[in-house]
Structure 1
Amino acid sequence: MPTSSGSDNQLTHLEKFGTDPGSLHADIYIPENFPKNGPLVVVLHGSTQSAESYNRGSGWSELADECGIALLYPEQRKTNNPLSSFNWFKSGDTDRGGGEPLSIRHMIEQVVDDYTIDPSRVFITGMSSGGAMTSVMLATYPEVFAGGAIIAGLPYGSADNLMEAMVRMKGYGGPSDNKLDALVRDASTFAGPWPTISVWHGGSDSTVDNSNADSIVRQWQQIHEVEGPPTREEEVDGFTRQVWCNSDEREVIDEYIIEGMGHGTPIMAEGDEGLGEEDKYMLEVGISSTRHIAHFWGLTQ
């Protein structure tokens, strides 16, 4: 069971969770109003960030209090990566059944058991390296997640080493569309129903080129059988949201390209519905990705 981490953000340390082959740390947040069989959101921080700093910036624990959501924050150790980046491109940390993905899977199992979480309402999100690792988790353990949100990330299987990762981040090379689809299908034996996908990216991101956002969308379009242009476009808080709906008219993919925004998570800290606080890579642009992602998943209704 968890012990207090002493943080101002009320995160607590999850001490034991399976064999932890990826040697990760884990924090959790369980609001006082968390209901039996409530939902869980797994949140993956970006490079140079910690679980606490990402939680503070994104406002996920604020929304958890508001809506009764359990949170799990896997955290990278500097002994694994000097920038505290998840190793989304590293052999051994990108496949089902080992490394960092299996550590995160074990964390989820532990929290679901400890807090009587509805296993059909487990979601995952992350930014930058955490966004790329979100792609890894959605591909390698799709049966675990009802939905995923990838912020300033990359598609699954786009790089096999650090050099490739740096090139892909700049928007060069990368798998073909057919290969992108096959990478997800070959990552597990799962045949659906697949998690819904929300994609967020800064239009002026010079760290991870926003062509990667479009590649993520294309990776999942074939999976969800929603190829081609979006079903509709709409304006949300001054930004364009593209939506792809399946044959049942269910929204299965959405994409926000935040024009003028650099590398980071879009937040709206001010106002009655404000969440989080501005910081490096936590960018005040007048739209809360946290709130809109949770709404897309049906967690704010």
Structure 2
Amino acid sequence: MGYDLVASLRRKMGAVRHLDISTAARSLRAAFGGAAKPAAPDRPASDRPASNRPATDRPASDRPLRRRQRLGQAVADLAARRAPDPAALPRPELPDLDPRSFECAAGRRDYRLFVPPQKPAGLLLMLHGCLQTPEDFALGTGINALAAEHGLVVAWPEQAPTDNARSCWNWFDPEHQHRGAGEPAILASLAKELRTEFRVPRARTFVAGLSAGGSMAAVLGEAYPEAFAAVGVHSGLACGTAHDGRSALAAMRGAPAAARPLMPASRSPRVIVFQGTTDHVVHPMNADRVMARACALADVRPSRESHAPIGERTVGRSVARRPDGTAAAELWMIEGTGHAWSGGNRDGSFTDAAGPDASAEMLRFFLEAA
């Protein structure tokens, strides 16, 4: 390929990296002079036919074809994830949410804020999933009503389509997986500002999310362990599981993933994980990875404590305890639940009203050691 084509592809593949698939697909088709045909799924190395011809001996005409197949496969894998119409995203009216905006050196985000009727005693950041809005997520989880009982300020940051085509937090992008830059820096700085405004201690500052939001919550727990006392990950993935859009989709399907090296912290956040066993968006294996990583950071081992019906679902619950008996990590595997917030309000998106109340259990976990 010529220099101009290579440069063009580098620019266009940036759209794939951020899951802007409709733009990426059009750009790639234009670059190659036509639509790329989807290639067959990659097979394990053991299943591929052997070749005795060294790669350097392949005909020149064969090498561009293989590049086209790889790029075509990348587009085919992501083709179902097209950008939504921003106006079509659910945004129910919730009068108890105050619209605000926050800006720091790392960037700017709008957010909604819930303030309890009594003196604030804690702070919770709630990170929505893809194709959701703060209002929709607040309605579906019902967290604000519980926060009013416990005196928690709740911030609902918004990831707009201008930040990600599907309004996903960019947990899979290396630019947004570490401290000091990107979305982790924005969210941690927001938490710090609100903690100062409402005079909330770190011991009562928490973050939780669903799907992409849960994955970003896991990133925050590792990137800023001094900022959050506990983390809630619902249907999310472990920090460092992916490094681009394609590896993110592979990890979501349960493919083996090279985990990022652990960065031990003197006070790593406590972690609670919720996962449905019939989730076809995020493979349940990812919940085990989040749990294993949390246990490794806290230097504890989990034990299975219960397997029993809760509500209309059967739940397998594992807990890893510190020497003082407090839970460093909990894992709730909910049988029969898909990609949805367990125990959520049916009027919100991605909720399963039949499951145990994840919102109540998260707050119980957050506050029991605060």
Following superposition, the deviation at residue 220 of structure 1 comes to 1.5
Please tell me whether the aligned partners of residues 265 and 297 of structure 2 are also in contact (alpha carbons under 8 angstroms): no
Q: Identify the match of residue 121 of structure 1 among 191, 198, 204.
A: 204
1:129-208 to structure 2, matched below 5 A, reads: 129-175=212-258, 179-180=259-260, 182-183=261-262, 185=263, 191-208=265-282
1:230 aligns with 2:267: no
Equivalent position SS for 2:163: coil
1:30 aligns with 2:115: yes
Structure 1 residues 262 and 159 mapped into 2: Cα distance closer, same or farther (>3 Å)?
same
Structure 1 residues 261 and 234 mapped into 2: Cα distance closer, same or farther (>3 Å)?
closer
Once the two structures are aligned, what percentage of the paired residues are identical?
26
Deviations 1:21-62 (A, max 9, x none): 243222211111134xx1111100000000110001100111
**Structure 2: tracts of 5 or more residues without a match:** 1-90
Q: Which residue of 1 aligns with 2:68?
A: none
1:1-301 to structure 2, matched below 5 A, reads: 7-19=93-105, 21-35=106-120, 38-175=121-258, 179-180=259-260, 182-183=261-262, 185=263, 191-227=265-301, 229-230=302-303, 232-233=305-306, 235=308, 237=310, 238-267=314-343, 276-298=345-367
Structure 1 residues 17 and 89 mapped into 2: Cα distance closer, same or farther (>3 Å)?
same
**Structure 1: tracts of 5 or more residues without a match:** 269-275
Counterpart residue identity of residue 305, structure 2? R
Equivalent position SS for 1:134: helix
Following superposition, the deviation at residue 233 of structure 1 comes to 2.9
CA distance in 2, matches of 1:112, 1:129: 24
CA distance in 1, matches of 2:294, 2:102: 33
Equivalent position SS for 2:303: coil
CA distance in 2, matches of 1:34, 1:53: 26
CA distance in 1, matches of 2:185, 2:365: 26
Deviations 1:207-258 (A, max 9, x none): 000000001111121111123x516336472422211112222211110111
Counterpart residue identity of residue 272, structure 2? S
Number of positions where the alignment pairs a residue of Structure 1 with one of Structure 2 = 277
Following superposition, the deviation at residue 264 of structure 1 comes to 1.4
Larger RCO of the pair (alpha carbons < 8 Å, separation 6+): 1
Counterpart residue identity of residue 84, structure 1? S
Please tell me whether the aligned partners of residues 23 and 100 of structure 1 are also in contact (alpha carbons under 8 angstroms): no
CA distance in 2, matches of 1:206, 1:44: 21
Structure ID, larger Rg: 2
TM-score by length of 1: 0.86
Q: Which of the two has greater helix per residue?
A: 2
Counterpart residue identity of residue 110, structure 2? H
